[in-house]
Structure 1
Amino acid sequence: MKKTTTRLADGRELIYYDASDDTVRTATDPRPLDPVATAAEVRADPLLGDAVAIASHRQGRTYHPPADECPLCPSREGRHTEIPADAYDVAVFENRFPSLAGDHGRCEVVCFTPDHDASFADLTEDQAALVLDAWTDRTADLSRRPGVAQVFCFENRGAEIGVTLGHPHGQIYAYPFVTPRTERMLASLAAHREATGRNLFDDVVARERADGRRVVLDGDHWVAFVPYAAHWPYEVHLYPRRRVPDLLALDEPARTEFPQIYLEVLRRFDRIFGPEAPPTPYISAWHQAPVHAADRSQFALHLELFTVRRTSGKLKFLAGSESGMNVFINDVPPEIAADRLREVASKS
């Protein structure tokens, strides 16, 4: 992998990740852009203790542009985008409309491929491995920055999720705080260790593998399963078999196998509602140990993948119980979801 760092016309950082070591990047951004002005701030909810990002400047972000005006495609004559080059493998740049900025963190966009009409599931294993390398490198870089407490790599896919750009891409948030969801995991982890002397993540994975009913894929280095108390209609958690705190700690065998396992899970997601169904909307989220956690080795890196579609043509909305009280009601039993995800396995 070759990494090349440059700047866009307004000063934002742009990083190319190329599979070939002899790739040369010389294109510059010719657009007459003003410096990015953000009004992002983080406020604490006094009742819940949650952090809320207030980012009014995002009201003006690009919203469902036509394909020939996509800002994530390579630039071409007469049409300059966020990526000045006429081709790229993987590109990462600072978000022009960040939810977090300055002392309140950083937001980056990760373009997985120059192909506007593709999806992550369409990538080759080599392309997916390059994205994993980019996620890992960005995690390392952002974790070293002053004030960053947690690095979150994720992908939103589909208009049903709220995606405003159709080009296959993800994002990375560098939070200046530990997120509420991770705080709850850490509390459960500590309580389990106090009560049993064991690691909660290890016990969860061991229980799922021993039970087997909810296991979707069990590789040499990764295991994918529908969790026992899944919140979403179709939800898969993907863990490395050897517990590590973050992407940087993955060993080479796990890094090599990841594209095979992850691409297969994504392709099954696109088949669960039948061949005539549109692409399955989903959120794919990496959970990594907070940068300054007291004992990072106890945390288990894992990826959570889920869809808001509960059946063909019907979505799972977060209504009164979910939105008002954070109590989820799942219409699809996890065992049934796992059965379906096994049924739609790729043909060997």
Structure 2
Amino acid sequence: MTPTTLCVRGRHGPMESKVMCFHPWSDVTLPLMSVPEIRAVVDAWASVTEELGAQYPWVQIFENKGAMMGCSNPHPHCQVWASSFLPDVAQREERSQRTYQSQHGEPLLMEYGRQELLRKDRLVLTSEHWLVLVPFWAVWPFQTLLLPRRHVRRLPELTSAERDDLAYIMKKLLTKYDNLFETSFPYSMGWHGAPMESEAGANWDHWQLHAHYYPPLLRSATVRKFMVGYEMLAQAQRDLTPEQAAERLRALPEVHYLLGQKDRETAAIA
């Protein structure tokens, strides 16, 4: 095959990565941390987004929790990858949100959040500034979407009150996850926000900040969903509906199962 007929082309894409530990103790995961400790993580996420965003248009924060999700270091941590290009998933979200905004005059995920608040049956948690829901397109058994109620493009744009509330609702969600099968619930999660201001005059107002949670567990602490066969080659299938998943998560207690009875009573009063 001559160079003029090559169907594959490659190019170098500069990137930078960081690892962020959540807590000095290796056995303290996010749901076991205090709300102020989680707030410190939120602030660190916002800071690293600004820091790397000064040089790279895309800053991807993600956490792989548990060996089931490929995590080789049990110390609770996340990773941050910054790239000089928009990755594939980010490009798809960019197209979808830009198209919807141009056709309807408002951000896609703002309207979607309002619809889910009206329906209620796919909601898991709500607070003053945030909502957690099982999206109608979910393919992982207990997949969730975390959305701010206000139009916010990026993590650094969150107000102090929104950051406090984010720490609060994250602790609730992740506690429910752990309580589902009484295990340290594995998942991959990550934040998606507007690309950083890499182009003069670029408008990213069609973007709405959000986080995706993709947990693999299906029936127990050891039985997981596998994306194989038909799902890998044709179309993903659901083992339970988004409404069923949301109902199960809603019904779970917001006090972690590892807490003793005395701690449970104290936490319930607080």
Normalised to the residue count of structure 2, the TM-score between the two structures is: 0.85
Q: CA RMSD for the aligned pairs?
A: 2.0
* Aligned counterpart in structure 2 of residue 303 of structure 1, from 204, 211, 218: 211
| 1:264-303 correspondence runs (5 A) | 264-273=172-181, 275=182, 278-291=183-196, 292=198, 294-303=202-211
- Counterparts of 1:205 and 1:141 in 2: how far apart (Å)? 29
Partner of residue 40, structure 2: 130
| 1:248-259 correspondence runs (5 A) | 248-259=156-167
- Counterparts of 1:52 and 1:306 in 2: how far apart (Å)? 30
* Aligned counterpart in structure 1 of residue 132 of structure 2, from 212, 219, 224: 224
1 or 2, which has the higher strand percentage?
1
- 2:15 is equivalent to residue 105 of structure 1: yes
Identity of paired residues, percent?
30
TM-superposed deviation, 1:199? 2.0
Residues 52, 120 of structure 1: alpha-carbon distance in 2 compared, 3 angstrom cutoff? farther
Partner of residue 117, structure 2: 209
- Counterparts of 1:255 and 1:299 in 2: how far apart (Å)? 19
- Counterparts of 1:168 and 1:346 in 2: how far apart (Å)? 21
1:48-81 deviations in Å (ceiling 9; x for gaps): x9x999xxxxxxxxxxxxxxxxxxxxxxxxxxxx
Letter in 1 for 2:225: K
- Counterparts of 2:227 and 2:104 in 1: how far apart (Å)? 35
Partner of residue 52, structure 2: 142
Partner of residue 340, structure 1: 248
* Aligned counterpart in structure 2 of residue 192 of structure 1, from 77, 93, 100: 100
The answer to whether the 8 Å contact 1:310/1:332 transfers is no
Partner of residue 28, structure 2: 118
SS in 2 for 1:153: strand
Stretches (4+) displaced over 6 A: none
- 2:153 is equivalent to residue 240 of structure 1: no
SS in 2 for 1:272: helix
Partner of residue 262, structure 2: none
- 2:232 is equivalent to residue 323 of structure 1: yes
Normalised to the residue count of structure 1, the TM-score between the two structures is: 0.67
- Counterparts of 1:236 and 1:160 in 2: how far apart (Å)? 18
Report 1 or 2 for greater relative contact order, CA contacts < 8 Å, sequence distance ≥ 6.
Answer: 2
1:254-276 deviations in Å (ceiling 9; x for gaps): 01111110011000001112x3x
TM-superposed deviation, 1:205? 0.6
SS in 1 for 2:23: coil
SS in 2 for 1:205: helix
The answer to whether the 8 Å contact 1:288/1:299 transfers is yes
The answer to whether the 8 Å contact 1:221/1:257 transfers is yes
Gaps of 5+ in 2: 1-6, 256-267
- Counterparts of 1:52 and 1:213 in 2: how far apart (Å)? 46
- Counterparts of 1:52 and 1:270 in 2: how far apart (Å)? 42
1:218-253 deviations in Å (ceiling 9; x for gaps): 111011111011121101111111111111111121
Letter in 1 for 2:41: V
1 or 2, which has the higher helix percentage?
2
- 2:80 is equivalent to residue 176 of structure 1: no
| 1:20-35 correspondence runs (5 A) | none
1:109-142 deviations in Å (ceiling 9; x for gaps): 0001111112111111111111111111111110
SS in 1 for 2:91: helix
- Counterparts of 2:71 and 2:208 in 1: how far apart (Å)? 28
1:161-198 deviations in Å (ceiling 9; x for gaps): 01111111110010121011111111111222233233
